[in-house]
Amino acid sequence: MQGIDIHIEASRMQQAIEDSLGIEGSLIFDYIIEGGRIKLDLVTVNKRHSQSFLFHSVFGIDKIDALKKMLDYVQTYKAQENSYTIQWTAKDSRELQTSYFRARNIYDALDKLYYGRDVNAITVFSVVLNPVA
């Protein structure tokens, strides 16, 4: 019996996630081993202001399992989470930026904004829960 090439399967699933989100070339798949499991942080890169933000995190028993869980999430997240608009500036810039996040609550949205950076690197001016369309 011939096994599945996990690298090919992982690449196929990453492409399916990109296709589902419509964010080609602007995603980072960050894999971390935590407590014997694989944590997948899906990070988006905004081309306009060159900042990265957490899109979502999942845990899996291995890389393929984590990717399956992420693909399930990206296919259903709009129905599961609220939409937030956050206005902010980077510490070394005066230009006001506007970013949009899907999150369970305001704290989750802010965690996604601050992911991987010092909280003092960004000044938040407003966080708004967007109306349900």
Q: What ranges do the domains of the chain cover?
A: 1-78, 81-133
Distance (Å, whole) CA 119 – CA 22 = 29
In this prediction the pTM is: 0.89
* Alpha-carbon gap, residue 53 to 39, rounded angstroms: 16
Closest by alpha carbon to 50, among 92, 110, 7, 106? 92
CA distance linking residue 88 with residue 97, whole number of Å: 5
pLDDT in tens, 1-28: 356 788 899 999 999 999 999 887 799 9
Q: Which of 49, 123, 39 is nearest to 87 (CA)?
A: 123
Fold of the 1-78 domain: Double Stranded RNA Binding Domain (3.30.160)
pLDDT band per the 50, 70, 90 thresholds, residue 108: very high
